[in-house]
Structure 1
């Protein structure tokens, strides 16, 4: 790389750091930079408020699927959760609390869409194009657009002919009343598990179109009494202890049941047995149980918790349809077996598009014209430590291949905050302003991640029918970081600084 004393004169960027996304990931990155004394930060958000998925999603029944004591920043515990599994609006309030406490809102610009970004190697800065046709410049670019930010709307035959109401869970119509409606829900993922019981209680008729059943285990949920909340406030150590217990349980499920499936198959089978026992206790009809039982191994796709999902299918007004969708008509859906279901309301719980449009969420061009989207799709999805890519200087990608650690997204966020702190501390120590991960370090990390994953359920189990978003279009499970929480946090805080080149 060019020596610092021979470097060309810099064009002064508008921002030291430009972060795309005002969800928990983007806010965590901003906190890390502000702790480093970097304050010239812009946080661009396409929505009209902060919170990411907890702003976009507001369908009935929305709640965390990880206990609230764990689904939060460890350095900013919230003693006021109303339930062990807090409802969505509380997560939104928590996001605002964090933004206020850490003085993040003055950096945020809402309803600002980023269309593309390109690295200028002469000026050593990023040129970022926004939807209004203007260009921003920044020394460092951070993408925090989330894993679940691009809703997936399948192009079902005839969907344009449907004359009724269509709702997508990520574009919900608040106040919509299902009373007396004939409803169809397409999808049985984690979102549908929360939503279906809510609709079943109100609709005149509900038909659920299931392509792939989901593993569901009991949800040990309860209101957190006021005395416990007061205890958390007065003695924070008690809440940290609750977090440790919950994290440990999740860790055992993830590490032993999913990542080390080859070595601990009995643990995986035990988890599957718990799911089957839960189903058996709530659904007496053996044929209905058969339809609701996954035929892939536990962990191939993200399991979820619920005590109300299975009983919904035993209600007289609810029908489970598993023969597929032939086409939509003006007043209903024709199933694969020729059965027509008349409906007036269609709910799309069809999830998000990760691998086709979300990695990355907009065009990013690095050194020598490397297009990040093409690089990943034409080659292999890869990112050093889940945050950096060769030929993309001064670029941190928070939602990247091999970045998701554990079952709580906050594990991922806090690991990445550690990485940012260590990297930028070294950048400052050396008196440099440009970093780039080396090709060799990236290749070594990719090889190691691939090797570790060979023991996982994704490659040793039977995931053939899971249709899991963990797998990309190449058939590789490249979303999860194959390491325990403790190992991840340790590695993110101690990676070899020689893995980066500085100039």
Structure 2
């Protein structure tokens, strides 16, 4: 029997919508987009904490083929990203393919199609696309006694509006989310204690309102906005990417970025001891840096306390560290997401001959050809994969993968085939190139990253999240990869060599 759908896309964030747009351009209209949340938008639907905003310039954070001239600020607030996602779904007629509140529990390759099991139904499709996001599985810290705390506990990925006026608040974590949230908490809490394991590199944030006249200009003359996008992307590429993935050749760019952040810290924090606690001891780029004009300054307020002691336990009324205890009313967890244990993949994916993707990755290194396909998994596109993240903007990754999909499916159709699979040889060669570049050029191998505690590194100590090439190289590879690296078949294919 023919499968029910041409393709099933898991995830209705920007990655899933980009894949659906490309599949529709290729002529596929029988699509199904499954989303566990109650609406589209992914990160920008789930996250609603105070201070939420895109942490790179808005001009670079959108599809290049669907620019948004209406951003209100250079760093758009979260609700504008949500509205942009709704606009994209409406313009490209994607909502009719979406089913919300549907949790995918597993997917299995069955001879020539995929069988996808949800919490209430089973679907079949010729192709399976997983776009579940890198940061979609919230991590709760394994701290003794946390379940005994009698006050309110809230994770930033499940924010519940609450009046914190006069409350004693503690927050665990100082990553990019916490950088946005901590200044907001400090505005209302009577006392705020920030528990920091690892400080973060923070750069000044040129966050200004975009005047209405400029927005009108962007709408009337799109090439002007494209020029601004190109300029912003180039600056980010030089400071945030080149100095990381090309650390060996452009160490000076890394040093300049580090110096810039240190100067920013020195301007905002005059107390040398506090400044020491807030200064990272790892190389710039080992952990994702961020922008903020008020995060560092917040620690100079009299009711805000930075605690760098190890948390020993949490009891009914507070947090106990090696240096003492602090009574609190509200505990905020800005502890990030579990990428390497539960998010690669986000549910069980079983390919040819019963190969379990999660187990295979953990036993044979995390890998995916061009960050998209995996040997042993025919007709499967994994958009949130090892070596897939390119550039600082997620949209760089999305659009590279859209190009890859177009080239792959065009080649498959020209051969009269309906099944594709990346060959083991091509996958191994790609993995070898990526590992060599990481080892020989990147800050992850040549810099000081031991103390970064970065989600870039998996449980084996390998930095396999970011693609260690320039964004230009990533786009070129997506458009020019040898189609001979794939095997194609109209029927059940043998395992490729």
- Report TM bin, short chain: over 0.9
SS at 1:69 equivalent = helix
SS at 2:410 equivalent = helix
- The runs of at least 4 consecutive aligned structure 1 residues that moved more than 6 Å come to none
Q: 2:368 aligns with which of 383, 389, 393?
A: 383
Tell me whether 1:400 sits opposite 2:390 in the alignment.
no
Kept in 1: contact 2:18–2:398 (CA 8 A): yes
SS at 1:502 equivalent = strand
Q: 2:34 aligns with which of 40, 44, 47?
A: 44
Equivalent in the alignment of 2:396: 411
Tell me whether 1:311 sits opposite 2:311 in the alignment.
no
**Which whole-Å deviations, capped at 9, do the CAs of 1:280-301 have from their partners, x for residues lacking one?**
0000100000000000000000
**Which whole-Å deviations, capped at 9, do the CAs of 1:62-88 have from their partners, x for residues lacking one?**
000011110000000000000000000
SS at 1:270 equivalent = helix
Equivalent in the alignment of 2:284: 298
Query: 1:409, CA displacement in angstroms?
Result: 0.1
Q: What is the count of residue pairs matched by the alignment?
A: 488
State the superposition RMSD in angstroms: 0.6
Equivalent in the alignment of 1:216: 202
For 2:381 and 2:113, how far apart are their aligned partners in 1? Answer: 13
**Which whole-Å deviations, capped at 9, do the CAs of 1:440-463 have from their partners, x for residues lacking one?**
000000001111112100000000
Equivalent in the alignment of 1:435: 420
**Which whole-Å deviations, capped at 9, do the CAs of 1:293-322 have from their partners, x for residues lacking one?**
000000000000000000100000000000
SS at 2:359 equivalent = helix
Tell me whether 1:126 sits opposite 2:114 in the alignment.
yes
SS at 2:109 equivalent = strand
Query: 1:264, CA displacement in angstroms?
Result: 1.9
Query: 1:426, CA displacement in angstroms?
Result: 1.1
Q: 1:88 aligns with which of 74, 78, 83?
A: 78
Matches within 5 A, 1:207-356: 207-337=193-323, 339-356=324-341
TM-score for both structures, normalised by structure 1: 0.96
Kept in 1: contact 2:107–2:348 (CA 8 A): yes
Query: 1:19, CA displacement in angstroms?
Result: 0.2
Kept in 1: contact 2:319–2:325 (CA 8 A): yes
Equivalent in the alignment of 1:167: 154
Query: 1:237, CA displacement in angstroms?
Result: 0.6
For 1:173 and 1:269, how far apart are their aligned partners in 2? Answer: 40
SS at 1:493 equivalent = helix
**Which whole-Å deviations, capped at 9, do the CAs of 1:393-419 have from their partners, x for residues lacking one?**
000000000000000000000000000
Query: 1:255, CA displacement in angstroms?
Result: 3.6
Equivalent in the alignment of 1:113: 103
Kept in 1: contact 2:238–2:253 (CA 8 A): no
Equivalent in the alignment of 1:146: 133
Tell me whether 1:183 sits opposite 2:166 in the alignment.
no
Equivalent in the alignment of 1:62: 52
Query: 1:256, CA displacement in angstroms?
Result: 2.5
Query: 1:160, CA displacement in angstroms?
Result: 1.1
Query: 1:472, CA displacement in angstroms?
Result: 0.3
SS at 1:246 equivalent = helix
Q: Which moved more, 1:84-93 or 1:327-336?
A: 327-336
For 2:296 and 2:261, how far apart are their aligned partners in 1? Answer: 11
Query: 1:336, CA displacement in angstroms?
Result: 2.1
For 2:217 and 2:458, how far apart are their aligned partners in 1? Answer: 45
For 1:382 and 1:251, how far apart are their aligned partners in 2? Answer: 24
Query: 1:265, CA displacement in angstroms?
Result: 1.7
TM-score for both structures, normalised by structure 2: 0.98
Tell me whether 1:158 sits opposite 2:145 in the alignment.
yes
For 1:259 and 1:483, how far apart are their aligned partners in 2? Answer: 6
SS at 1:183 equivalent = strand
Query: 1:487, CA displacement in angstroms?
Result: 1.0
For 1:494 and 1:61, how far apart are their aligned partners in 2? Answer: 41
For 2:142 and 2:392, how far apart are their aligned partners in 1? Answer: 31
Kept in 1: contact 2:242–2:470 (CA 8 A): no
For 1:267 and 1:333, how far apart are their aligned partners in 2? Answer: 40
Equivalent in the alignment of 2:458: 472
For 1:266 and 1:489, how far apart are their aligned partners in 2? Answer: 25
For 2:44 and 2:106, how far apart are their aligned partners in 1? Answer: 25
Kept in 1: contact 2:9–2:128 (CA 8 A): yes
**Residue segments in structure 1 that go unaligned for 5+ positions in a row:** 1-10
For 2:63 and 2:115, how far apart are their aligned partners in 1? Answer: 31
For 1:491 and 1:103, how far apart are their aligned partners in 2? Answer: 29
Query: 1:368, CA displacement in angstroms?
Result: 0.8
